[in-house]
């Protein structure tokens, strides 16, 4: 909350340049997973799918090169930061997998 601003026309907008990056963090996807499991509302899977498609479109670094963070998520052609954080594989992709898995896979 410290780095975002809320206005009448925008919700959770990063103001400073350092607040506009995405380093492949898992928290939003993890939230979708937990909320889906608690409510069974398919909108959380829809949101997760949208996020997965955006990661694939903007963060994929190329064949055999993994995924990269982004310097400015507000850009229509964001520049990659050339870093794949370890938590991307360990957490972000894990929660995407669990979001679309059967409910009894992990309690």
Active-site residue numbers?
A: 2
Q: How many C-beta atoms surround the C-beta of residue 91 within 10 A?
A: 17
What dihedral angle (degrees, nearest 10) is formed by the CA atoms of 45, 93, 1, 22?
-120
Name the nearest CA neighbour of 25 among 78, 79, 104, 94: 94
Q: Helix 27-39 to helix 43-54 angle, to the nearest 10 degrees?
A: 160
């Amino acid at each position: 909350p410290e780095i975002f601003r809320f206005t009448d026309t925008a919700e959770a907008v990063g103001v400073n340049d350092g607040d506009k990056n995405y380093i492949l963090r898992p928290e939003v996807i993890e939230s979708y997973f937990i909320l889906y499991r608690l409510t069974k509302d398919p909108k959380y899977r829809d949101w997760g799918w949208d996020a997965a498609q955006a990661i694939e479109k903007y963060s994929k670094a190329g064949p055999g090169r993994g995924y990269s963070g982004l310097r400015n998520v507000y850009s229509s052609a964001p520049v990659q930061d050339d870093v794949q954080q370890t938590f991307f594989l360990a957490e972000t992709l894990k929660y995407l997998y669990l979001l679309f898995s059967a409910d009894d896979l992990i309690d």
